[in-house]
Structure 1
Amino acid sequence: MASIDLNSDLGESYGAWSMGDDSAMLLVVSSANIACGFHAGDPAGIYRTVKAAAENGVVVGAHVSYPDRVGFGRRDLDVTSEELIADVIYQIGALQGIAAAAGTAVRYVKPHGALYNRIANDAKQGQAVIDGMKAIDPSLVLMGLANAPILELARKSGLSVVAEAFADRAYTPQGQLVSRREAGAVLHDAEKIAARMVQLAREGTLEAIDGSIIKIEAQSICVHGDSPGAVAIAQQIRKRFETDGIAIGSFASSM
């Protein structure tokens, strides 16, 4: 039986401002990328989401970001390595404390938004994220974009890695994510998305935005928690996987 991880970005509500449906999503996914306060999330909300993840047997990861609440972490920042290392350590440390209080642990790190996209190909900032992870807990796994250079850089630096694909995003023929600024970048049809993910899990391929078929080797699939209809999309993926005999399980169980 084929098996793949299903993850989502959670814990992103802030005060009276609500983002996504964490409770519903935690009934579907196997791994949860939890905001650490730099792009979204407040302590009470993060704690609540981490506790719910623990109760549902969902593996917890730190969704670290540039310090950019106003831009939701989607604005590129030219920070120094020293600053970025410290920012990564700070965010992971905060989530580790909350996870310990909730009876679970932080098992991996998935950078968020602009930081995720920047380090995919930027070795300097990528190394800073890696160095921050190694400084606080070298057993942490780095989740990064499938086929991106950051994964090999992390491996050479001694970290375990997980390659990730995105269920609700379109891809270029080169295997990169289509910019959110372009039409068709975000996918919304739950049935079509689920069919794409079955193809990914079974064959390791996806259809790019121009209709070409590209190779994507991924061990985890992300459904963005802030996307319209995110829960319905995740539920449809899980339903199709169960029908097609594809198991959903966190990569952490094999590491």
Structure 2
Amino acid sequence: MARVIDFNCDLGEGVGDDAGLMPFISSASIACGFHAGSPELMRDTVKLCGEHGVAIGAHPSFADRENFGRTAQSVAPGEAYALALYQIGALDAFVRAAGLRLNHVKPHGALYNLAARDRAIADAIATAVRDHDPHLILYGLSGSALTDAGTALGLQVAHEAFAERRYEADGALTPRSHADASIDDPANAAAQAVLLLRDGVVIARTGERLALRADSLCLHGDRADAVGFARALRAAIENSGFQVRVPERRR
């Protein structure tokens, strides 16, 4: 029996070929308008996911369209809760109107990275997810404060790993300000993905082997060559004996 892995892409940001990515992925995290996207684009991306059988997730972020949600901000837990709950609800309105079901929540960019290391912010976001719908899956950086917070609240969590991002020795993603933050060769990204899937490890930027749980593999949809990356990664995943499939949501 083939092992399974979710292949997730961040969509609805108005900068990539969302339709071209659909055949290769199993789930999408859709921008909720705070870092990118718009109400119309949220609606259209939800419809596109429904047409292709791709699971739908909310991708809440800081209100930071100027910097694509990737600039660090200081935020109190109460504000993080409100940011997350507001955006989850906004996307879910479009999902319900389309006769579909929201599958997961995955914070975006700087909010994601903050929640990965700050337990108070992680607790706030996990609580927002639970308060909206306790059956949603919470996606977070593998082994991070966010996945711990979700587990503590009884949520189903997906430990997320990245195909085309570098890691630091402590398991954090290499900051985008670093020249080696991203992997720009699809073959190298595929090699990192295969190592994650087969051996449960990733090689840090500084050479260390890190044990890493991967329930979901992420590709950033805003990169110009995202479709080519998705095609190469899908082939590498399947050639490694894995089936691309979204995690089954608990009822």
Q: Specify the TM-score bucket, using the shorter chain as the normaliser.
A: over 0.9
Find the counterpart in structure 1 of residue 248 from structure 2: 252
Residue 170 (structure 1) aligned with residue 166 (structure 2) = yes
The answer for the alignment partner of 1:199 in structure 2 is 195
1:118-133 to 2 correspondence within 5 Å? 118-133=114-129
Which residue number corresponds to residue 151 of structure 1? Answer: 147
Shift of 1:197: 0.7
Q: Distance in 2 between matches of 1:82 and 1:211?
A: 38
Q: Which runs of structure 1 show a deviation greater than 6 angstroms over 4 or more consecutive aligned residues?
A: none
Q: Does 1:62 align with 2:63?
A: no
Contact 1:34 1:62 in 2 (8 A): yes
- Counterpart amino acid of residue 28 in structure 1: F
- Aligned counterpart, 2:97: 101
- State the one-letter code of the partner of 2:22: L
Query: Alpha carbons of 1:231 and 1:92: their partners in 2 closer, same or farther (altered >3 Å)?
Result: same
**Structure 1 counterpart of 2:70, which letter?**
R
Equivalent residue letter for 1:2: R
Report the Cα offset of residue 99 of structure 1. Answer: 0.7
Aligned partner of 1:110 among 106, 113, 132:
106
Displacement after TM superposition at 1:243 (Å):
2.4
What is the CA-CA distance between 1:227 and the residue it aligns to?
1.8
The 5 A counterparts of 1:37-56 are: 37-56=33-52
1:6 maps to: 7
- Secondary structure class of the residue paired with 1:206: strand
> Unaligned regions of 5+ residues in structure 2, if any?
none
TM-score (norm 2): 0.95
1:139 is the counterpart of 2:135: yes
Distance in 2 (CA, whole Å) between partners of 1:179 and 1:194 is 21
Aligned residues: 250
| Residue 254 of structure 1: how far off its partner (Å) | 6.9
Structure 1 gap ranges (5+): 14-18
1:43-77 deviation per Cα after TM superposition (whole angstroms, max 9, x unaligned) = 11111111110111100000011111112111222
Q: Deviations over 1:8-33 (max 9, x none)?
A: 100011xxxxx011001111110100
RMSD: 1.4
One-letter code aligned to 2:9: S
Q: Distance in 2 between matches of 1:252 and 1:31?
A: 12
2: CA distance, partners of 1:254 / 1:78: 34
Q: Is the 8 A contact 1:142 1:159 kept in 2?
A: yes
Q: Which residue of 2 aligns with 1:89?
A: 85
Give 1:138 shift: 1.3
